[in-house]
Amino acid sequence: MAKNEKLAETMEFPPDTPQPNIYPLSWVRQTGKMEEVWASAQREQWDPMKLSWDTFDPSSYTWEEREAIAYWWTLLSVFDASAPPVFAQALIKTYEDHEEDPVRRCFFSVVRDEQNHEQMCGLAITRLLDHPDALTYVPKSELGKKLQRNARWLYYNGSRYWEGYKKAVPKYSLSVLFSSFLMGEIAAATIFHQMAKGCDEIVFQEAFKHIGRDEGRHMAICMALMERDYPNLDDEDRETITKQIRAGYLFLSAVLYEPPTEFWDLPSDFIEVQRQGEAVAREAGFGIPDSEMKLENWRRAMLNLKSVLDRYDTPFPAIPEVGITGKEVSDVDMDEIIPIF
């Protein structure tokens, strides 16, 4: 066939379109729960720039306090600043897979929410440090210097998983991806509600309330999809999920508890420095839960997730760190993880 020959001149209907193609021309609505979540996402939209910033005066804090609170936001950014592209990739997948219309909308809402969370991190850090970049900022206190070194190591570690994620997305079904998403969302929903209660600053209370609510919705999205897809999982998917949960635990522990050395490549005084920073921030009225609370929180999130997976006969990995027995997973590979926040 000549290059410029028009098929339309030779046949009445075009040949089949090769799949997957990016645009579904269908708007099937089956999962009612998704419609509800989308409706609340529309209702609960917020704008980080419109919070009560005028009540926030960073100069009422010492530089050490400002740097300690900014460190926590930086730690959160390591996860939340990667969330928009990570979920955008998942959103594209819902289009390629010709997912239901409400599923596509729900993923779109997650991208938007995570962008808000990232903006919030930036707004807080910029005001606290009077500088828009956590890594090029010149620390003023001794603690600030040590915290920035921590931040650099976190940043380096977090960067390692993007290539792996990009490879994982086309390889796995959405239902496998959800299991990793879900664990982040369960834990995130709890921690932000605690932070909302524990912070003195109005603007932080407002932000954490919104973020906690968003994360709760993300959790509901994952649950609805699992309910739909998990009854039909094959054994290979189940095995991948078990591995991903273990990987997710190791990855997310850095923000939800403390980074395990098994996975994170960090200096030996990292945790000690982080604890010092958190103590200063807490003292200044920024209510980060202490290690015991974090651990309990994390354990509860894991048990929650376990009860979901048990329902669908998917083995849960052993997580001895929080006292959960289960299937031993030893070969967690940085190249293959999907966890997100």
> How far is it, in rounded angstroms, from Cα 278 to Cα 292?
13
> How far is it, in rounded angstroms, from Cα 65 to Cα 285?
10
Report, in Å, the least distance between residue 180 CB and Fe ion: 12
Residue closer to Fe ion by CB (options 183, 280) is: 183
Residue closer to Fe ion by CB (options 114, 258) is: 114
Residue closer to Fe ion by CB (options 211, 284) is: 211
> How far is it, in rounded angstroms, from Cα 110 to Cα 40?
12
Provide the mask over 67-86, with x wherever binding to Fe ion is found by CB under 5 A and - wherever it is not. Answer: -------------x------
Burial degree of 326 (CB within 10 A; 0-12, 13-18, 19+): middle
Report, in Å, the least distance between residue 118 CB and Fe ion: 8
Residue closer to Fe ion by CB (options 223, 318) is: 223
For 261, phi then psi, to 5°, come to -70, -20
> Which token pair is 125?
């850090």
List 317's β-bridge partners, or say none: 327
Q: Is 210 in the site for Fe ion (CB under 5 A)?
A: no
Residue closer to Fe ion by CB (options 146, 217) is: 217
> How far is it, in rounded angstroms, from Cα 157 to Cα 24?
37
Q: What angle do CA 67, 117, 187 make, to 5 degrees?
A: 90
> How far is it, in rounded angstroms, from Cα 245 to Cα 260?
15
- Among the listed ranges 218-226, 287-295, 308-316, 319-327, the one in contact with Fe ion (CB under 5 A) is 218-226
Q: How many CB atoms lie within 10 A of CB 329?
A: 20
Q: Is 218 in the site for Fe ion (CB under 5 A)?
A: yes
Report, in Å, the least distance between residue 40 CB and Fe ion: 14
Report, in Å, the least distance between residue 211 CB and Fe ion: 6
**Cis? peptide before 20, omega within 30° of 0:** yes
Residue closer to Fe ion by CB (options 220, 295) is: 220
Report, in Å, the least distance between residue 13 CB and Fe ion: 43
Residues 117 to 136: which contact Fe ion by CB under 5 A?
117
Count residues contacting Fe ion (CB under 5 A)?
5
Residue closer to Fe ion by CB (options 104, 117) is: 117
Residues 98 to 117: which contact Fe ion by CB under 5 A?
114, 117
Q: What is the 3-state secondary structure (H, E, C) of 73-107?
A: HHHHHHHHCCHHHHHHHHHHHHHHCCCCHHHHHHH
Q: Is 217 in the site for Fe ion (CB under 5 A)?
A: no
- Among the listed ranges 211-219, 258-266, 276-284, 314-322, the one in contact with Fe ion (CB under 5 A) is 211-219
Q: Which residues contact 311 (CB under 8 A, 6 or more apart)?
A: 230
Report, in Å, the least distance between residue 182 CB and Fe ion: 10
Report, in Å, the least distance between residue 181 CB and Fe ion: 8
Report, in Å, the least distance between residue 168 CB and Fe ion: 18
CB of 253 closer than 8 Å to CB of 260: yes
Residues of this chain that bind Fe ion (CB under 5 A): 80, 114, 117, 215, 218
